[in-house]
Amino acid sequence: MKKIFKTLSNRYIVFMPVLLVLVVAQVETYSQLTTSGTFGAAVRLAIPILLAGLGGLYSEKTGVVNIGLEGMMIMGTWFGAWGGYTFGAWQGVFIGMLGGALFGLIHAIATVSFQVDHIVSGVAINILAAGVARFLNVIAFKDVQYASSTASPRIQGDIEIFTMPFLAGGKIGESETFNLLGTIENLDIFLLSDISAFFLGFLSNISYLTLFALALVPVSVLVLWFTPLGLQMRSVGEYPAGSESLGVNVYLMKYIGVTISGALAGLAGSYLVVAGTGTYLEGQTGGRGFIGLASMLFGNYKPFGVLMGSGLFGFADALQLRSPQAVHGLLIVISIFLLILTFKTFFEKKYKVSILSFLFSAAFLLWFMNSTSIPNQFVYFTPHITTLIVLSFANQRIKLPEKIGVPYKKGEIN
């Protein structure tokens, strides 16, 4: 038994909740845990988190801490709405990216050129963005119908969506095709139907902007690990003095990383507008910039890891929106997962953590057994508490860039 738990690496532990959810979903009451509708909503809700997490990755790989992602997302929402209202949906997407990139550039100037503390600068960006967005909204949409100080008018046009023919029942011309995945989902076969539901949710009513965002994951891998630019960006985050001695422009690489970070956060914000509400609404980012940072840490500074972390948050968010009753089933999932972690940490001789996880496991189990539903307040907090539990107990070996958050001056030897 000891050998089994010892061989369970963190890489496999994080997949354990997936298996538990599949098992719990076989109970009729909790069937919404693995439906195509839930998975489809999860994909759409995960995209802003994913983009913010990728933005944080580019910045922090160059050694610049960026907790200003939330503010850059806010600017993405406003500039995306303004661009969408003035020019059209796709134009709004790229104007939103420019708005986020502008505030990324401000963060770079403050932290790289003026050596301002990275946390202080990030907090200032978040505060400044909220005020600037309100100010710009009042100025730009003055006397415009359906606009207010906290909301913009609706953008022009929409981002196109598609459904895959034959696999998900999409149309070819005016004719509907066979829905293979939907048919398999309706057979209600354990695992097979759940997998079909997952792909059906992904292949149904998906916007082209979602595909563009998902494509940025492998693109980020290629850029950061397989191009000279990516190598230089990562080198200045690890050893800037050595990089400069080899002819790398350290300041330029940091500026590029933080500006790209802002552009991706801006894209996350414009996604909320053009692929979501269709308007700018004050506060619509809802802390997703900070959750993006959490997904980056969950993913251990790897693009596909960020994708997994954002997917987890998106799933929890989708579940509380589509089926609050099914959230009750997560209590037993959390309890069993914490019990597994109890044994794992016990055999690793982490006794304090083991006792703590056992107590929490017992508490969630008692809650599940003595209730049929959970308070609405907990339902709304589901995405956040899910993220916190995974981050707290995954116990990953996070490899931070060596010089992250450390100011650097040209010619400095360290």
Number of domains comprising the chain: 1
Paired tokens of 91: 């134009």
Paired tokens of 329: 């089933």
Q: Which residues contact 228 (CB under 8 A, 6 or more apart)?
A: none
Which structural domain, as residue segments, surrounds residue 228? Answer: 35-163+205-323
Give the separation between CA 25 and CA 281, rounded to whole angstroms. 35
Q: Is residue 245 part of a domain?
A: yes
Q: Is residue 296 part of a domain?
A: yes
Per the CB < 8 A criterion, the answer to whether 258 and 66 are in contact is yes
Once rounded to an integer, what is the mean pLDDT over residues 85-110? 96
- pLDDT digits over 337-359, tens only? 888 878 877 887 888 878 988 99
Q: Is residue 187 part of a domain?
A: no
Cβ-count burial 73-105 (b if 16+ within 10 Å, e if not): bbbbbbbbbbbbbeeebbbbbbbbbbbbbbbbe
Record the pTM: 0.91
Q: Is residue 172 part of a domain?
A: no
At residue 390, the pLDDT reads 62
Q: How would residue 383 be classed by pLDDT, with cut points 50, 70 and 90?
A: low
Q: Is residue 341 part of a domain?
A: no
Q: Is residue 191 part of a domain?
A: no
Q: Is residue 49 part of a domain?
A: yes
Q: Is residue 5 part of a domain?
A: no
CATH of the domain at 235: 1.10.3470
Q: Is the pLDDT of residue 299 over 60?
A: yes
